[in-house]
Chain A
Amino acid sequence: MNRMIVFTVAALVAGGAVAEEMAKLELQLPAPQFAGTPKTIKTPNLEREAVVPEIMVPAGTANVAAGKPVTSSDDFPVIGELEYLTDSDKEGSDGSYIELGPELQWVQIDLGEAKTLYAIALWHYHAQARAYRDVIIQVSDDAGFAGNVQTLFNNDHDNSSGLGAGKDKEYIETYMGKLIDAKGAKGRYVRLYSNGSTGSDMNHYIEVEVFGK
């Protein structure tokens, strides 16, 4: 269960200012689990310092991805199941992560209906320090992402994915995951891309949380 610290602030809604309860989103974190021999992290677009954004969300915001169906570009995962992405298990051990094949791969969560999104939290893999490449997160009303696509995060600095270059930085995976401000984007489908990491050619996911209402 994620915690929200509730504040009351003025929020603009149609027609004027009304008081709306806002809450600081705080993630429920798994146990740290670095193990084994670290690998060299050598990548040109790495952030200098990890910064966790402070994201305020309206009261009633919840993880609308919990238990929702997941599809993928890889229908033959190396290990794990697509359901792991939305099963609320964020541990880093075997049985908690799915491993997809090499090169650019995507996973997609169907929220069931269009939602207003405030934040996305993502854990690729946290048993080893590594940085995933071409991490791109998009939202759309179209299951095929052919139209009305909003990009919430993109660290593909050289457009190696062919989806357009982004200005976000690569980051080192830890048990703290990656928290991204969705800034009120609306959509039914959330798609996440990656293209291997500094630790492996493969693509991994432990959990994706989508906070909205």
Chain B
Amino acid sequence: MEMNRNRFMQAAAAGTLLAALRARAEENAVLAARKDPDQLNIALIGAGAQGRILTESCLRIPGIRFVAVCDIWSYSQRYAERYLKKYGHDVAVYENYQEMLANEKGKLDAVLVASPDWMHAEHANACLEAGLHVYCEKEMSNSLEKAASMVRTARATGRLLQIGHQRRSNPRYIHAIEKLIHEEALLGRVTHATAQWNRAKTEDLGWPDQYEIDAATLDKYGYDSMTQFRNWRWYKKYGGGPIVDLGSHQIDLFEWVWGVNPSSVIASGGIDYYPHHEWYDNVLCIYEYETPAGMARAFYETLTTTGHRGFSEAFRGENGTIEIAEVPQRGNAVLREAHAPDWMPYVERGLLKAVSAPIQQSSTRNVAVDVRVTAEAGKWPLPIELAKPAHQPHLENFFNAIRYGTPLNCPGESGYETAVSVLAVNRAVATNQKIEFNPSDFHV
């Protein structure tokens, strides 16, 4: 297939720029470990499950002081206030973010936004306009218009906007993608990628009776019911469904690996198991990427009725495949094709481990081998470990950017590109049509 050269050059230029901007993991870790860094005062908007994960990681980073917490639910307010108290952080607690900013913005350097997707833009834009740097959870928004407004506000205010695609700061992923795939070309031409995030069936989230939010308060903040407030990810008004909640993290990697945005996506899915939900409970999709080396394709699936295969990613090249996952036990190795060049030099340079040797000729003696089957590739483990919570390096990168001016690993512009790719999947399912992207779709 002949490539659209202009499209490729535009996308490649953007990808190269982002790669150049991306701070090295080693630099990130060294800066984050500096003694007696300037104290940064921060607030949290949205103290639910994701807000708690960010809080836990921030408490491990030197020089970070929580000043305020905002959440509309008293259960989460109590949780955050007392949790932080255990670590010596006395915080002011707010239900209304505008009140928080009015009272606290003079004390704050940055805000973590971990509210439901549909409120990200309102919260992030208000914080940026108040002169504060913002770390915002992905997805940027369930609306591209709102996501674009965040990019524009960050530019207009000159404040930092980091989007929470935390794999971009994970040293294991940086090693696999930037070192092994980009610099060393270990896999040769990467022709395909596959990824999945599957979860076992689950009940809707409930809530303790004594912490039920009254109807007037729910209405004030735009929620139709307590059920929808607690399970907002399944409803179109508030979120984007599993392809956004789960898929976004991994689809973001495809663009990182190939350095270009997708040219198209086809998808199938449906509301097939949880009829009371509004978003698709299973989605399978295929992206096309017009790379400098030729066409590449990526398959992604997210299922919510079976946990089989859990979550992991595979980047498949002519000389081998990298299997990787945020939890190393689910993927942390490179599989070498039998015809690939010798990889021992990579082991000698510390870029790979050679624990699981490739199958040797002698190992198949007296064993019936079906000659139509290619010998299983040997597994070469990745040598990098992350001895921190998965979100910590990305937060460190954000705080390093504030303190030392190091580039963000996922600025708003990058988060927007991924949002364009991911939100299109829901449109592809709804219309049952192939979505063709224009390069301009990815730029604000």
Q: Could you list which residues of chain A lie within 8 angstroms of chain B, going by C-beta atoms? A: 31-40, 76-79, 93-95, 99, 101-102, 200-202
Contact of A94 with B327 in the complex, beta carbons under 8 Å: no
Contact of A79 with B79 in the complex, beta carbons under 8 Å: yes
Against A, the Cβ 8 Å flags (1 = close, 0 = not) of B305-344 are: 0010011000000000000001111000000000000000
Residues from chain A with Cβ under 8 Å of B87 in the complex? 102
Residues from chain A with Cβ under 8 Å of B223 in the complex? none
Minimum CB distance partner of B204 in chain A:
A93
Contact of A78 with B200 in the complex, beta carbons under 8 Å: no
Does chain A have a CB within 8 A of B202? yes
Contact of A101 with B86 in the complex, beta carbons under 8 Å: yes
Q: Which 8 pairs across A and B sit closest by C-beta, in order of nearness?
A: A95-B208, A78-B82, A101-B86, A79-B79, A78-B83, A40-B327, A93-B206, A35-B202
Contact of A76 with B85 in the complex, beta carbons under 8 Å: yes
Q: Which of B83, B86, B209, B327 interacts with A95 by CB under 8 Å?
A: B209
Cβ < 8 Å to A, chain B residues 386-424: 389-390
Contact of B78 with A33 in the complex, beta carbons under 8 Å: no
Residues from chain A with Cβ under 8 Å of B210 in the complex? 95
Q: Which of B82, B199, B200, B327 interacts with A77 by CB under 8 Å?
A: B82
Q: Which of B49, B79, B327 interacts with A78 by CB under 8 Å?
A: B79
Residues from chain B with Cβ under 8 Å of A201 in the complex? 56
Q: Which of A31, A36, A95 interacts with B203 by CB under 8 Å?
A: A31
Contact of A200 with B82 in the complex, beta carbons under 8 Å: no
Residues from chain B with Cβ under 8 Å of A36 in the complex? 49
Residues from chain A with Cβ under 8 Å of B206 in the complex? 93-95
Q: List 27 A-B contacts (CB under 8 A).
A: A32-B200, A33-B203, A34-B200, A35-B199, A35-B202, A36-B49, A37-B326, A37-B390, A38-B310, A39-B389, A40-B327, A40-B329, A76-B82, A76-B85, A77-B82, A79-B78, A79-B79, A93-B205, A94-B75, A94-B206, A94-B208, A95-B207, A95-B209, A95-B210, A95-B211, A102-B87, A202-B83
Contact of B86 with A102 in the complex, beta carbons under 8 Å: yes
Residues from chain B with Cβ under 8 Å of A34 in the complex? 200, 202, 307
A31-B203, A94-B206, A95-B211 known; A78 and B86 CB under 8 Å?
yes
Residues from chain A with Cβ under 8 Å of B203 in the complex? 31, 33
A37 CA / B325 CA spacing, docked (Å): 12
Number of A-B pairs whose CB atoms are under 8 Å? 54
Cβ distance B56 to chain A, nearest Cβ, rounded Å: 7
Q: Could you list which residues of chain B lie within 8 angstroms of chain A, going by C-beta atoms? A: 49, 56, 75, 78-79, 82-83, 85-87, 199-200, 202-203, 205-211, 307, 310-311, 326-329, 389-390
Which of A32, A36, A79 has most chain B Cβ within 10 Å?
A79
Which of A37, A40, A79, A101 has most chain B Cβ within 10 Å?
A37
A33 CA / B206 CA spacing, docked (Å): 12
Minimum CB distance partner of A101 in chain B:
B86
Cβ distance A194 to chain B, nearest Cβ, rounded Å: 15
Contact of A39 with B82 in the complex, beta carbons under 8 Å: no
A79 CA / B203 CA spacing, docked (Å): 22
Contact of B56 with A200 in the complex, beta carbons under 8 Å: yes
Minimum CB distance partner of A100 in chain B:
B86
A102 CA / B83 CA spacing, docked (Å): 9
Residues from chain B with Cβ under 8 Å of A101 in the complex? 86
A79 CA / B208 CA spacing, docked (Å): 11
A171 CA / B210 CA spacing, docked (Å): 33
Q: Which of A32, A39, A79, A200 interacts with B327 by CB under 8 Å?
A: A39
A108 CA / B49 CA spacing, docked (Å): 29
A202 CA / B83 CA spacing, docked (Å): 9
Residues from chain A with Cβ under 8 Å of B78 in the complex? 79
A32 CA / B49 CA spacing, docked (Å): 19
Contact of B328 with A40 in the complex, beta carbons under 8 Å: yes
Q: A34-B200, A38-B327 are in contact. List 12 more A-B contacts (CB 8 A).
A: A31-B203, A32-B200, A33-B203, A37-B390, A39-B327, A93-B206, A94-B75, A94-B206, A94-B207, A99-B83, A201-B56, A202-B83
A79 CA / B207 CA spacing, docked (Å): 13
Residues from chain B with Cβ under 8 Å of A200 in the complex? 56
A81 CA / B210 CA spacing, docked (Å): 12
Residues from chain A with Cβ under 8 Å of B327 in the complex? 38-40
Residues from chain B with Cβ under 8 Å of A38 in the complex? 310, 327
Cβ distance B382 to chain A, nearest Cβ, rounded Å: 14
Cβ distance A170 to chain B, nearest Cβ, rounded Å: 16
Cβ distance B312 to chain A, nearest Cβ, rounded Å: 12
Contact of A79 with B75 in the complex, beta carbons under 8 Å: yes
Residues from chain A with Cβ under 8 Å of B307 in the complex? 34
Cβ distance A135 to chain B, nearest Cβ, rounded Å: 20
Cβ distance B381 to chain A, nearest Cβ, rounded Å: 15
Minimum CB distance partner of A84 in chain B:
B208
Residues from chain A with Cβ under 8 Å of B49 in the complex? 36
Cβ distance B52 to chain A, nearest Cβ, rounded Å: 9
Residues from chain B with Cβ under 8 Å of A77 in the complex? 82
Residues from chain A with Cβ under 8 Å of B200 in the complex? 32, 34
